[in-house]
Chains A and B, each alone.
Chain A
Amino acid sequence: MLRAAAFGFLLISAAATAQPGLPTRVTIPTFIVSPSGDVAEQITAWKNLLQGDMSALAGELTALPNAQRIQFSERRVSSTPTLQTVQDRWRQLNALQVITAIGSGDPRSVAFEGSIYLGNLGSGIPAQTVPLPRSLTASDYQQSRDTVRAATLYALSVDAGTNRVIACQLLRRASQAARDLARRNSAGGLRVAIDQRRTSLHCGIVR
């Protein structure tokens, strides 16, 4: 997991919202580390797909007053950023979470590497990484997309704090994404976290 940690993280911190006057945001930066223009183009296309999906997801979320707060950025860098760089950037952004994805490779073997790090997020979740798939195939893209969706929705539910109605709405959606991950045996830790939070908030329906 150390290697994954060196490639990238999603940092989620509920504490980010405790600062008054700061809007809660989700930022998703992509670092492209590749000498090849073709590779960079493919990774940008991958990132754009993810961005389009997250923008539409934000539109679905009636619980979110500001659907524009899931923001993407792209930076071309000469070397893989260190963990310290990623953490510093996260603090500068005052964002609820940072998904850092590192795209690299050569024209024969393009990879979109990254991982999701559930930093010091509350609810008793241990710090852990949830790796994103390394390749740019369609099925791997879907897994990345569902992982990012589930993590983002989970983070936003934490951000909703004691507003149970909104938190449960977000967790219901997160749970759907997690169910799709379960079909691919992926991101088990994230699924457990979502289920635990749903249980603790009594989001279940009585029949």
Chain B
Amino acid sequence: MKLFLSLGAALTLFLSTSASAQYYGIIVPAFDGPRPLGQNVSTNLYLQVWRTLRRAPYPNPQRLDFGSGIAQYTDGVFRPKTEQEITRYVVQNGTVQIVMWGEVRPLGNGVLVQAFLAAPSEAAHPAHNEVWTIRSGNSVVRLDLPRRTFTFAPVVLDRALIQVLQSPDSMRMCRRPVQPCDGMDVGPDWNGVRQSGAWAEVVSNTSNETGFIYLPTLARLPNDISDFAAALLSYERGDFAQAARLFSRVASRDASESSTREDAAVLGAIARLRAGDHGEDEFTRLEAQFPESLYLFQAATMARLERALGSTGSIRTSLRQSIFKRIRDNAELFESDDPWLKDMETILDRL
């Protein structure tokens, strides 16, 4: 089994650290299916996610730092049959929080790709950015991800494009971002320095050489799988602005299936709010679009709670009453011991 580590950052070459708990990352095993098609597909999806890793936004007036991001590729196929196998796989990796796996089948000039994503809670980063937490005094209410395993609609990708970037170990880098070039070996482990158009500036951790990898086809393979994975990884890293942008891209794609679009729309709205955009109206709009979503109901209620906590006097009282009513009217849709419901009631009692 080969393991390729790739640390990505935009505009900043960051220092890697030895403490694995400080990483946020994803692993992409080769997809199941005819070889080398499975490797080709997972390589492209893996590189698409890798290109989104950044240590900080630019410009960065708030001096944000999202820490080290990591994307791993392995050519060992992962075929989980149970949720337990998925959890074990990520926990045993010890470095990443998310796994993307899938299967491929040749279909004419295209490749049918069915992919899945999981972020087991047992492998979560200690910072738990994936859980939206609101505190008030000693009270706290938390909203976890809508689910920990995500499935995507099958997509057909262009086989000719998929086969341009065959596997991470076939990657070469140029001394300057110009084609053609005599490619140098990148090695199995590299740090991303800068992403610019079709070029990625990297430092090989094998040779310590700096160079440029040419990735001309990735932008021509738009898909929900890598966009959603990159959004989720950004969300887990606390890069909420980028998460919001990527989730919105998925939510607005016509071909996305309903469950994916709904998850992406709600997580995007939450990410925007957590990034500092006061977009409570967006939840109202989404509630009209996805009237059946219980997760959206919870998120919209959390958004109102946050507004109530930031207000005073009659506005606060009015918001508190409206939240209470929402909770009371829908309490039967939750288990009686549902922690979110209980915590919400507690925090409202003390508001």
Q: Which residues of A contact B (CB under 8 A)?
A: 45-46, 48-49, 52-53, 55-60, 62, 67-68, 137-138, 141-142, 145-146, 164-165, 168-169, 172-173, 175-177, 179-180, 198, 202-207
Number of interface residues of B (CB under 8 A): 42
The reply to whether A49 and B151 contact each other, CB–CB distance below 8 Å, is: no
B256 closest partner in A (C-beta):
A180
A146 closest partner in B (C-beta):
B257
A108 to chain B, nearest CB (A): 14
> Quick one: which of B102, B118, B156 contacts A59, CB cutoff 8 A?
B118
> Quick one: which of A48, A57, A176 contacts B103, CB cutoff 8 A?
A48
Q: Provided the pairs A138-B107, A207-B326 are in contact, do residues A180 and B86 lie with their beta carbons within 8 angstroms?
A: no
The reply to whether A57 and B151 contact each other, CB–CB distance below 8 Å, is: yes
In the complex, number of A-B residue pairs with CB atoms less than 8 Å apart: 96
Residues of A within 8 A of B334 (CB): 165
Residues of B within 8 A of A56 (CB): 116, 149, 151
The reply to whether A138 and B86 contact each other, CB–CB distance below 8 Å, is: no
The reply to whether A141 and B154 contact each other, CB–CB distance below 8 Å, is: yes
Residues of B within 8 A of A204 (CB): 291-292
The reply to whether A164 and B332 contact each other, CB–CB distance below 8 Å, is: yes
Residues of B within 8 A of A202 (CB): 332
Residues of A within 8 A of B156 (CB): 138
Residues of B within 8 A of A141 (CB): 112, 154
Q: B317: CB under 8 A from chain A?
A: no
B151 closest partner in A (C-beta):
A56
Q: Provided the pairs A67-B82, A172-B293 are in contact, do residues A62 and B147 lie with their beta carbons within 8 angstroms?
A: yes
The reply to whether A142 and B329 contact each other, CB–CB distance below 8 Å, is: no
Residues of A within 8 A of B80 (CB): 55
The reply to whether A49 and B114 contact each other, CB–CB distance below 8 Å, is: yes
> Cα distance A16–B170 when bound, in Å?
54
The reply to whether B333 and A203 contact each other, CB–CB distance below 8 Å, is: yes
> Cα distance A198–B149 when bound, in Å?
24
The reply to whether A207 and B83 contact each other, CB–CB distance below 8 Å, is: no
The reply to whether B107 and A137 contact each other, CB–CB distance below 8 Å, is: yes
Please encode chain B, from 104 to 118, with 1 for each CB lying within 8 Å of some chain A CB and 0 for all others.
010100101010101
Residues of B within 8 A of A137 (CB): 107
The reply to whether B116 and A205 contact each other, CB–CB distance below 8 Å, is: no
Q: B89: CB under 8 A from chain A?
A: no
> Quick one: which of A49, A168, A179, A180 contacts B333, CB cutoff 8 A?
A168
Closest 4 CB pairs of A and B: A206-B329, A59-B149, A176-B258, A59-B83
Q: B228: CB under 8 A from chain A?
A: no
For window 253-292 of B, CB contacts with A under 8 Å fall at 257-259, 262, 287, 291-292
The reply to whether B112 and A52 contact each other, CB–CB distance below 8 Å, is: no
Residues of A within 8 A of B262 (CB): 176
B154 closest partner in A (C-beta):
A142
